[in-house]
Structures are given as structure tokens and as C-alpha cells.
Amino acid sequence: AQSVTQLDSHVSVSEGTPVLLRCNYSSSYSPSLFWYVQHPNKGLQLLLKYTSAATLVKGINGFEAEFKKSETSFHLTKPSAHMSDAAEYFCVVLNYGGSQGNLIFGKGTKLSVKP
Amino acid sequence: GAGVSQTPSNKVTEKGKYVELRCDPISGHTALYWYRQSLGQGPEFLIYFQGTGAADDSGLPNDRFFAVRPEGSVSTLKIQRTERGDSAVYLCASSSSGRGYNEQFFGPGTRLTVL
């Protein structure tokens, strides 16, 4: 079975400082991993995805994530936070055990950005 | 082009009532997913359609929940004898195929409140 654990429920940073949102995964297979962002009253949006190609994945809005098999981690980073980055972020793994394509979400990390 | 739309955006009902939630996927997308997001949690998979058929309904919590997609496009999630614990945001997503992974595009959700 696959699962993801987001290690922080809430992260607060100052504008212009780095962002680190932590995620560990568990999978019996080589996982496909994703980060989604959810702004208030808006739909979930895909930030980036890892599907066994390059281990460093670049996404939209300056975000990137590194797949580390030895640490079973897929942490999301950004060098410099903007106010518009304030949102809920979900680490997600593709479920191979069920239907081909349904997603398993972590509990989310709320990112606050202080001016 | 138009994204995934869901109606209504908000639904308030009384315990024991029947509700229907509608999802209009992106035109041409054959795969359609329903997820449920409870307060403070990540979305949880409910059901997956490939075309008109439910390919995987393993996430439906009990037999009060049912979903249809009669023409392979619009889908309706139906909840009978609603309970307070059904209160959540119900999310719909569509993708161009359910095989392997193709990006799932999410709608804004329907917020269901059961009084």
C-alpha cells in the first residue's frame, strides 16, 4: 500500500525567505509523487510531479522537489517566498493498488507568509 | 477552455435528506474521479469512472453513497439519508485517461453541510 506523511501541519515564513515543506512516502512500488496547492475557494492545482525520471523536479511558480529514495522523502522547496504562496499544500502519491490513477493525499501543510 | 465545474458550490441540508452533487468534467476527458475532503484533512478517494462505468468504487464509505455517469460526461454523486458526518467538501476531477497517470484537473468543489 502507498501512503504519504506530511511532517508539518503549519509552516510560517517571512516573505523573501526559503520555503521547506516536508513529505515522507511509503510505497511497495517505485512511486509516482506529486505536490498540489489549494488556494482558498479555488480548486487544487498541480505544482509538480515525479514519475521516475530526474530526481530533482521543477514545478510552477519557482517550486521544486527532490526525490530521495534512501530517505523516502519528497520535500518541496522554494528559494524565496512570496505573499501569493500562502495556501495549503498537499503531498500526493499515485495509488497503484486500486484503480489506475486515483490519488492518495497527505493531510496538508498550511503555508503562511508574513510580510 | 473551461475547466471542471461543480454545482452547487454550497449545499445545506438537514439530516436524513437526499442530496445530489453534479460534476461537469473537461470536455473529452474519459476519466472522472470523486474525492471527499473533510475539515483539516486531505482529499480522500471515493469513486472513479472510466467512460460510463464505475471502474473503482472502493472509496465509497457505505451504501448511502452512489454515483452515476450515464453518458460518459457529467457525473452525479448521490447521498441518501444524509448524516452530519457527511459534511465535507466534495471534489471532482477529470483526466484524459485513467490508465497510468495523466494529470487530474480538479473542480472548485461542493461544500456540503448537514445540519
All three cell numbers of A51, joined, read 514519475
Long-range contacts of B52-56 (CB under 8 A, 24+ apart): B55/A99, B55/B98, B56/A98, B56/A99, B56/A102
Q: Is B55 on the interface with A (CB under 8 A)?
A: yes
Contacts of B42 in chain A (CB under 8 A): 90, 92, 105-108
- Which pLDDT tens digit goes with each residue over B27-42? 999 999 999 999 989 9
- A 10 A CB-CB count for A109 gives 21
Distance between B100 CA and the closest CA of chain A, angstroms: 6
In DSSP terms, A114 is beta-bridged to A14
Residues in chain B: 115
- Which pLDDT tens digit goes with each residue over B50-84? 888 888 899 999 999 999 999 999 999 999 999 99
